[in-house]
Chains A and B, each alone.
Chain A
Amino acid sequence: MAELMDDVIDIIAEKARIDRAKLELTARLDELNIASLDVVEIVFALEERFDIQMPYNANSTQREFETIGDVVRAVEGLVGEPA
């Protein structure tokens, strides 16, 4: 799964234009100051890359993922699911 994790972090780094070294698994998304439209594009890119459907609503007060690690685990879970 290390490859998947690298892919997820690559996508976040590219779309949010953040230095990859800052994207540790414990890094919090709200503290990385990723603009809302960038988050939407990251979710889209992850869905395209892994052929998954990620539940994400920009209006939801309940955060689906809070850290980089949460995003990686969410993708892992969805990739593992039968289509």
Chain B
Amino acid sequence: MNRVAITGVGVISPIGQSFATFTQNLFNGHCGIGPITTIPTERLLVKIAAEVVGFDPATHFEPRRIGMLDRVAQFALVATREAMARSALPLDGDRAETTACLIGTGVGGLNTLDDSFLKLYGQGAARVHPFTIPRLMVNAAASHITMEFGITGPAYSIASACSSAGHAIGHAFHLVRSGVVRAAVVGGAEACITVGTMKGWEAMRVMAPDTCRPFSKTRTGMVLGEGAAVFVLETLDDARARGAEVLAELAGAGMSSDAKDITAPDVDGGVRAIRAALRDAGLAAEDVDYVNAHGTGTAANDQTETQSLHRALGARARQIPVSSSKSMFGHALGAAGALELAATVAALRSCTVPPTVNYEETDPLCDLDYVPNTARSAPIRAALSNSFAFGGLNAVLAVRAV
């Protein structure tokens, strides 16, 4: 079994359009939630989100190419360029076909779908653009990455709503560890702040009207986000042999299904995924120094996740910091697990725990150390990143310092 190194990371997020800026804002507790600017809001009841403000595709892509790229694929490609530049992963010779590309995304090219259907149903257009299908298909981001970098190994997208990136990264990790491939370009991307999507989320009655306050008694729900984070994984042996900088070891991935309710979270399902990740990584509960929580800011998630952590980590749960980065960059759905792994890697590398911002008041049902509002120094040798999705699909990643 190979040990698996993370040798590249790239981030497009509401709190920074590079890993360095993202990390700085994360530790400064900068909240990227604000009034929606990218879509009309007259018909929305919830008028806030965490948008990637100022992302200009023209600075990243030739005009001809932009026509083929939904915003979600644009995010994924730009994040991949940063990750590949940092890693300098070789793709010559047979390396191209022994490299995988897996991108988690919850829904794919929703901007394309929304625009097309508005024209077709709303404005009576006779036809839609011929690129509608290749832009909206859920695998578009993964495919464009393979084409831009010449990755010819296994490539596909993984969809499990809010755990999509967690599952994609966990699965790629297992492919590299077992030797199916030598390297993987993996992450998550989402860009679905559209009028249609916002109305759908509004109707579920789980959206906060003002901001995201995970684990706080005053929390009023989640805030939609967007963005992408992409990592380069390779065997630790390969990374060392070519002198690549190892950002962290991806040590384990645990996955589980609640098999209970299509939207309500479940304590047992979370416990199984956390325990599976520890087992997979060969870590004991006592080894975990930090948990980057799923922490959506809904009443149900935060209380359920707290119970899962108590059950899975025992006494250790009370001894370690647990924080929700969604308080800063919102809930990026299919990209969430990747953005949060980036936050976890940043924490591990700097021995700094990112805060849970907007925290106001202790909830007796959420009784862990959530690192309210201000980052904190702490020794971090190993950390977990939780993703718990609608549909009861859970993915937990474990990283370790090397």
Contact = CB atoms under 8 A, between A and B. Distances in A.
Interface string B277-319: 0000000000000000000011110000000000000000000
Contacts of B262: 37
25 contacts: A35-B261, A36-B300, A37-B264, A40-B203, A40-B205, A43-B205, A44-B203, A56-B205, A57-B205, A57-B206, A57-B209, A57-B220, A58-B204, A58-B205, A58-B206, A58-B221, A59-B206, A59-B208, A59-B219, A59-B220, A59-B299, A59-B300, A60-B220, A60-B299, A61-B299
Interface residues on A, range: 10 to 19
Contacts of A57: 205-207, 209, 220-221
Nearest to B221: A59
B258 to A, nearest CB: 14
A59 B298 contact: yes
A59 B203 CA distance: 13
A59 B158 CA distance: 29
A37 to B, nearest CB: 5
A52 B297 CA distance: 27
Nearest to B264: A36
Contacts of A58: 204-206, 221, 298-300
A44 B204 CA distance: 9
CB-CB nearest 6 A-B residue pairs: A59-B221, A59-B299, A58-B205, A59-B220, A40-B205, A59-B298
A63 to B, nearest CB: 12
Nearest to B220: A59
B349 interface: no
Contacts of B209: 57
A58 B205 CA distance: 6
Interface string A30-66: 0000011100100110000000010011111100000
Nearest to B206: A58
Contacts of A36: 263-264, 300
B204 A40 contact: yes
B47 interface: no
Interface of A: 35-37, 40, 43-44, 53, 56-61
B263 A37 contact: yes
Given A58-B206, A59-B300, A60-B299, 19 more contacts: A35-B261, A36-B263, A36-B300, A37-B262, A37-B263, A37-B264, A43-B205, A56-B205, A57-B205, A57-B206, A57-B209, A58-B205, A58-B299, A59-B208, A59-B297, A59-B299, A60-B220, A61-B217, A61-B299
Contacts of A44: 203
Interface string B188-218: 0000000000000001111111000000010
A41 B219 CA distance: 22
Contacts of B221: 57-59
Q: Which of A37, A59, A61 has its CB near the most chain B CB atoms (within 10 A)?
A: A59
Nearest to A39: B205
A43 B208 CA distance: 17
Nearest to B209: A57
A60 B250 CA distance: 38
Nearest to A44: B203
A15 to B, nearest CB: 14
B204 to A, nearest CB: 6
A50 B207 CA distance: 23
B324 to A, nearest CB: 14
A37 B298 CA distance: 14
A61 B219 CA distance: 9
Contacts of B207: 57
A40 B298 CA distance: 15
Nearest to A56: B205
B218 to A, nearest CB: 8
A30 to B, nearest CB: 14
Contacts of B204: 40, 58
Contacts of A35: 261, 264
A47 to B, nearest CB: 9
Contacts of B264: 35-37
Q: Which of A35, A37, A44, A58 has its CB near the most chain B CB atoms (within 10 A)?
A: A58
B224 to A, nearest CB: 14
Nearest to B204: A40
Nearest to B263: A37
Nearest to B207: A57
Contacts of B261: 35, 37
